[in-house]
Amino acid sequence: MRKLIAGNWKMNCLKGEGIELARDLGMRYAQENDPAFDLLICPPATLIDAVGNVIAGSGVLLGGQDCHAEPKGAHTGDIAAPMLADLGCSHVIVGHSERRQNHGEIDLVVAEKAAAAHRAGLAAIICIGETEAERDAGHALAVCTRQLAGSVPKGATADNTVIAYEPVWAIGTGRTPTAADVAEVHRHIRAELCRQMSDADRVRILYGGSVKPSNAAELMSVPNVDGALVGGASLKAEDFWAIAQACS
Ligand code: PGA
C-alpha cells in the first residue's frame, strides 16, 4: 500500500516559519521523481491558506487538525469541515489524544466530526491509542477496539478514512513501542476494521508517537503500518523529509 506521511504541526509556527517550512517540503516533493509516498501537511488553522498557496502544484496534500461536527453556525472559535475543504484541504485529523484529553472529546464526538469531514468530501484521520496506565494494565488492544467501535462513523471507507494509532505515552516523549508491539496493535486494528467495513484491507493505518529519522525505517517496515503521523519531527523539513524517505 502507498504510504501516507502526515505532519501534524499542532500549535506551532508563525506565518514566516510556516511558509518557509512548507516551501521547502513542497520543493523537495516536487523534485522527487515519482514519489513512493503521499506527503500531507496539517498546519494550524491560521496558516492553512498560506501553506496551501505555497505548496500548490507540488503534489503535497493539505489538512486540518480538527473540525466541528456541524457544517456552520454559532460555534465561536471552531472550524467547519466545509471551510477546510474550501481552502483546499483533502484531510482532517479528528480525535487526536490532545483533543480527547484537553477538550473532553469522547468517541461519539470524534465519530460525529469524522462524519462531518466525510460529508465535506474530506478524508478523516481518526486517532486512537492507549494511555500508559492502560498499556501497563494490559488493556492496549481493548482500548483500541473500543475507540474504533465508537469513533469510526457509518459510511467510513478506505477512501475517506485513515486510522492513526498513537499510544498516548509515546507522543512527544521520545519513547516508542517495540516493533513487535506496533505489529500486534496494527494487526488488531486491521482485524477490527474488517468487522466494520468491507474494504478494510485498503484502509491506511498510520503509526504516530515520537517518529523520527532514526526510527522511521524500522517502524515503517512493520506489517500493517501504512505511514506515519509525525508531530515534533514534522517541524524541521530535513527530519520530516528523512522520515518520508524511509518509506521509499
Ligand atoms: P510526536 O507527536 O511525533 O511529537 O510524538 C505525534 C502526534 O501527536 O501526532
99 contacts 105 by C-beta, under 8 angstroms: yes
**CB distance 63 to ligand 1 below 6 Å:** no
pTM for this structure?
A: 0.98
Beta-bridge partners for 211: none
Question: What b/e readout covers 173-200, taking b as 16+ CB neighbours within 10 angstroms?
Answer: eeebbebeebebbbebbbebbeeebeeb
pLDDT number for residue 33: 86
SS3 string, the chain, reads CCEEEEEECCCCCCHHHHHHHHHHHHHHHHHCCCCCEEEEEECCHHHHHHHHHHHCCCCCEEEECCCECCCCCCCCCCCEHHHHHHCCCCEEEECCHHHHHHCCCCHHHHHHHHHHHHHCCCEEEEEECCCHHHHHCCCHHHHHHHHHHHHCCCCCCCCCEEEEECCHHHCCCCCCCCHHHHHHHHHHHHHHHHHHCCCHHHCEEEEECCCCHHHHHHHHCCCCCCEEEECHHHHCHHHHHHHHHCCC
35 contacts 248 by C-beta, under 8 angstroms: yes
Of residues 126, 58, 127, the one with CA closest to residue 88:
58
Residue range(s) defining the domain that contains residue 241: 3-245
Q: Supply the CATH number for residue 11's domain.
A: 3.20.20.70
**Count of structural domains, the chain:** 1
* Number of the ligand 1 atom closest to the C-alpha atom of 127: 9
**CB distance 35 to ligand 1 below 6 Å:** no
pLDDT number for residue 23: 98
Residue 214 and residue 71: Cα distance in Å, rounded? 41
**CB distance 97 to ligand 1 below 6 Å:** no
- The residues near 51 (Cβ < 8 Å, ≥ 6 apart) are 18, 19, 22, 41, 43, 62
Kindly give the confidence (pLDDT) of every residue in the chain, 248 residues in length, as a single tens digit, with 9 standing for 90 and above: 999 999 999 999 999 999 999 999 999 999 998 999 999 999 999 999 999 999 999 999 999 999 999 999 999 999 999 999 999 999 999 999 999 999 999 999 999 999 999 999 999 999 999 999 999 999 999 999 999 999 999 999 999 999 999 999 999 999 999 999 999 999 999 999 999 999 999 999 999 999 999 999 999 999 999 999 999 999 999 999 999 999 87
Q: How many residues does the chain have?
A: 248
Looking at residue 85, its amino acid is: A
Residue 241 and residue 48: Cα distance in Å, rounded? 20
Catalytic residue among 166, 186, 188, 192: 166
Nearest CA to ligand 1 atom 2: 231
Nearest CA to ligand 1 atom 1: 231
Asked about 96 being catalytic, the answer comes back as: yes
Looking at residue 119, its amino acid is: R
HSE, side-chain direction, 13 A CA sphere, residue 134: 17
pLDDT number for residue 112: 98
